[in-house]
Amino acid sequence: MYYKDVPLFKAQGTVDRLVDDLAVTLDLERADLKIRAASKGLICGTGLTIHLLEGEVISINDLEGTLIPTGETIERFELKEDISWVLVVEKEAVFQTLCRFQFASHQSLPGPGLIITGKGYPDVATRQLVKTLSDNLPAHIPIVALVDGDAYGLDILSVYKYGSRSLRHENEKLAAKRIEWLGIWASEIADLEIDLDTLIPITLHDEKKALAVLSRATDVVPTKWRQV
């Protein structure tokens, strides 16, 4: 839709907001409007097979990332009993590194798992997958997130766990309540002996983002997250 009139919309985000606002106004989901964003999230690991409505079967592997298909194209997920954990990472670079070293099946871990990234703020397809895993995996299997210990990382984690403001009418179907914050916590920087000179200075935009995140209710930004 964006490329049909670039001068008018100016940015993809403008189209996204307009579509979301229209869906909220009409009390519909995006899918009901027959408007679907291209997938961007990736997954690697073992123990998950995705069956599509058209008959295609996608088997996830631990060597490389597989594009997460949109929910409207999925017939069902097939989970194996040997999945031991699920790790959601913010950065694609971190995801690719973990896949390259076959971290999902590393012998030092208690068992095989799944690694997922939304490449920053997750799209609906990625959130739907994490929600499905949260609802269907046994309670003892941890689902954890590795995000930056800054306002953007907290915001991304909040989208996974509690939902987004733009799609608040769909949050019940997208929020993965079980996901927990593994790190990185700002308080861990000293313990990890990270050279402070290598850190990127905080900008005015960063400060505004932090204040905006902290101004939200504790049911979407818990007190514990604020004390890191």
Omega prior to 184 cis, within 30 of 0: yes
Domains observed in the chain: 36-226 (3.40.1360.10)
Please state, in angstroms and rounded to a whole number, the distance separating the CA atoms of residues 129 and 43: 10
Known catalytic residue at 3: yes
| Whether pLDDT at 60 is above 90 | yes
Residue 170, pLDDT score: 76
Higher pLDDT, 31 or 42: 42
Which ranges constitute the DSSP H helices of 11-123?
A: 12-26, 92-100
What angle in degrees, to the nearest 10, is found between the helix axes of 151-162 and 204-214? 40
Query: Of 2, 3, 152, 160, which residue is the catalytic one?
Result: 3
Q: How confident is the model at residue 90 (pLDDT cuts 50, 70, 90)?
A: very high
Please state, in angstroms and rounded to a whole number, the distance separating the CA atoms of residues 57 and 75: 10
- The letter for the amino acid at 34 is K
Kindly give the pairing relationship between strand 74-79 and strand 66-67. unpaired
104-152 tens-digit pLDDT: 999 889 899 999 999 999 998 999 999 999 999 999 999 999 998 888 9
| Whether pLDDT at 95 is above 70 | yes
Residue 112, pLDDT score: 93
Predicted TM-score (pTM) of this structure? 0.83
